[in-house]
Chain A
Amino acid sequence: GENVEQHPSTLSVQEGDSAVIKCTYSDSASNYFPWYKQELGKRPQLIIDIRSNVGEKKDQRIAVTLNKTAKHFSLHITETQPEDSAVYFCAASRYNQGGKLIFGQGTELSVKP
C-alpha cells in the first residue's frame, strides 16, 4: 500500500550548520510532496512543497529536491537557527485522491546554539 519512509527520526545540529531530511515514497503515481513543520504543542504548518514536474524548489534557507526515478525527496535547511527546532513531516499525495496526504513518521530536529 501507500507508504512514506522518513529518515532520520532525530537530528541534532549546531546553529549555522545544514540539516537534511530524506523521504522515500512507495506509490509511483505520487505527484505532490509537501513538508510540514510542527513546533512543540502547535499545529503542523506547511513550509514548502514540490510537484513532480520540477526537481528542486527553494525558499530562502529551505530547499526541497525530488528524484522521481528513485522515488525519494529531501528537505535541506541551511544556516540553521534555534527557531528551526521542531518536528518536520514529509508527505506524499497522488492526483485524483482528493487532498489525501500520506505522512512520514517525522524528524525531530534540534538546533543547538
Chain B
Amino acid sequence: DSGVTQTPKHLITATGQRVTLRCSPRSGDLSVYWYQQSLDQGLQFLIQYYNGEERAKGNILERFSAQQFPDLHSELNLSSLELGDSALYFCASSVASEQETQYFGPGTRLLVL
C-alpha cells in the first residue's frame, strides 16, 4: 500500500457524460500527478499540481480538467466522454515538485459505453 488513495475503483458511464475521479496523496506529500494508462498509449502524464498550483502539464485534453484543494486532495474531471477515454487513471504523489519518487495509487478503471 503506497498511502495514496483513489476513488472510485471502477466507473462505468456512457458517452457524453461527465465524471470526477478523486485522489488523496500520502500524508506530507504536496505534489499530485494524474496519469492515463491505456493498452495502446501506455502511461501518459496528464497534469501535476503542487501545493494547490498547477506545476506541469502533459497532453491533457481540453475536456479534462483537474484541481488540487487546500487539504491537498485532487480531483480529475472528465467531460463529454468518448469511448476512447476508457482507461485506467492513476494518481501519484510525491513530497516536492521536482524529480523524485512518485507513489502511485491503485487507479480508477473507467469504462465508457
Contacts and interface: CB of A to CB of B under 8 A. Distances in A.
A99 B104 contact: no
A43 B2 contact: yes
A101 B45 contact: yes
A46 B44 contact: no
Size bin of chain B's contact surface: 20 to 34
Nearest to A4: B42
Interface stretch (B13-21, B62-70, B77-85, B94-102): B94-102
Contact of A44 (B45, B56, B100, B104): B104
A99 B97 contact: yes
Contact of B45 (A32, A42, A102, A104): A102
Query: Chain A binding site: helix, strand, loop or mixed by DSSP?
Result: strand
A89 to B, nearest CB: 6
Nearest to B99: A32
Contact of B48 (A45, A46, A49, A98): A98
Contacts of B45: 100-103
B56 A103 contact: no
A111 to B, nearest CB: 22
Interface of B: 2, 31, 33, 42-45, 48, 50, 55-58, 90, 94, 97-107
18 contacts: A32-B99, A34-B102, A43-B2, A44-B43, A45-B2, A51-B99, A91-B43, A95-B99, A98-B31, A98-B56, A98-B97, A99-B94, A99-B100, A100-B57, A101-B43, A103-B43, A103-B45, A106-B42
